[in-house]
Structure 1
């Protein structure tokens, strides 16, 4: 029991703190069912940081480092946006902003069989789940949840996709009431955020899509109050332009 308390205290003291390569996050023998995410490496009896980043934790025992990069480092169970760039007999080839293309099996869809393969064109945008992410092999994707259901996964049609840093994407997803998103009327648009730094937005008008996209891109280094003020200024400007017309 004392060992468990010591381990939890050690890890908890680092939550939301910046760590550097080589920092010991937690001693492993005391932690059951550990899930290791991006930026961390399991080394013998320790969990080590492999890059600079902010330590994050999700119950029961998932740890990862949040950092801001243009290139994405895949981790199992991440939800991301991918672009179809090719296909062979077994897989769709998908660009996920990683160092290598990911593989999406043609049967990795709800009810998928080799006789019932989705018709995905080159350039199709997909919301997918990372199933496997082992060094030295291509990441494997799925368009289903862990139970095999489509859930929210699959092609994203219409709308607009833009690239952000992975840090911004994680900030948007990890904050329950992200100021820049809450400042908008959420009923007026749809948004899908990928942990690989791709964001898809769809709204009732092209001008609203542009406004929301620009606000999100500008929000990365702003405080909550600055984000709210920025959104108000942008929406006021849009309303003024619309009334003049």
Structure 2
């Protein structure tokens, strides 16, 4: 039986070129999704990078490794920083090798008269619409019904910091209760991008620092050990704030 951590099954260690899954075109197939590190070709899914093959409860397969630079993937949600405005687009840093862009018209209720105005340094939460090695990534901040559904410009009264990509994927998994454990002591709002960036807001600065350090524990500790140390970490920042 495959080990399961935070609702994610750990399947096997793979290398580039390894065959991960194979399907019979005439047989019954389960509906699956493939994520970073995998490629579909002629009913076979191959690994494109080395790492640990994992599967979520929603049948999403992906390869997890300690990659530092983000490689944009279509439909992933990311946090970007506005760099400048260029004609009808904003140029955005999403942590990849290439800068991304987003049209001024892909915001909720946006028109030529009411389009969103942002300035360099503003933080934005969007979804990758185009991810191709030959062209720059493109983001969008609305769904197919032209609704923002929680994506768009993020408020200025929060803090943003970075975590490893594998940690970001771990905590956005709906089966992972780590954030719920933290919320038993601290009320906070959080936005996590698949590019390893986190936007966080809490009532007090000490609360934000406590949550940030709880998440950073996942870089050096297994999930269970980090959960055991959550309240100790939060209490340590509560003592510092009183002194």
Q: Work out whether the TM-score is over 0.5.
A: yes
- Where does residue 91 of structure 2 map in the other structure? 93
Partners of 2:105 and 2:215 lie apart in 1 by 35
In the TM superposition, residue 93 of structure 1 has moved relative to its aligned partner by 0.8
User: Does structure 2 conserve the Cα–Cα contact (< 8 Å) formed by 1:180 and 1:224?
Assistant: no
Q: CA deviation at 1:32?
A: 8.2
**SS of aligned partner of 1:129:** strand
Unaligned runs of at least 5 residues, structure 1: 1-13
Aligned to 1:111: 109
2:12 aligns with 17
Q: Given that residues 180 and 231 in structure 1 are in contact (C-alpha distance below 8 angstroms), is that contact kept between their aligned partners in structure 2?
A: no
The 8 Å contact of residues 37 and 76 in structure 1, kept in 2 or not, is answered as no
Where does structure 2 lack aligned partners over 5 or more consecutive residues? 1-8
Q: Is the 8 A contact 2:206 2:241 kept in 1?
A: no
- Which deviates further from its counterpart, 36-45 or 202-211? 36-45
Whole-angstrom CA distance in 2 between matches of 1:178 and 1:134: 34
In structure 1, the partner of 2:48 is: 50
1:29 to 1:122, Cα distance in 2 relative to 1, 3 A: farther
- Looking at structure 1, the residues matched to 132 and 23 of structure 2 have their Cα atoms a distance apart, in angstroms, of 20
Give the alignment's TM-score, normalised by structure 1: 0.84
Normalising by the residue count of structure 2, what TM-score does the alignment of the two structures yield? 0.84
Contact 1:130–1:141 under 8 Å retained in 2 = yes
2-side partners of 1:193 and 1:109: how far apart? 20
Per-residue CA deviations over 1:61-106 (Å, capped at 9, x if unaligned) read: 6533222222111111101101111121221111111111111111
**Which residue is 1:134 aligned to?**
132
Deviation at 1:228, TM superposition (A): 2.8
Which structure shows the higher helix fraction?
1
Q: What's the C-alpha RMSD, in Å, of the aligned pairs?
A: 2.4
Q: What's the offset of the Cα at 1:185?
A: 2.6
Aligned to 2:150: 152
Q: How many angstroms does 1:18 deviate by?
A: 2.3
Q: How many residues are treated as equivalent by the alignment?
A: 231
Residue 159 of structure 1: how far off its partner (Å)? 0.7
- More strand by proportion, 1 or 2? 2
Determine if contact 2:81/2:92 at 8 Å carries over to the other structure.
Answer: yes
Instruction: Please tell me whether residue 202 in structure 1 is matched to residue 191 in structure 2.
Output: no
Which residue pairs with 1:193 in the alignment? Answer: 192
User: Displacement, 1:33?
Assistant: 7.4
Distance 1:99 1:18 in 2: 26
Match of 2:3 in 1: none
Contact kept, 8 Å, 2:73 with 2:128, in 1: the verdict is: yes
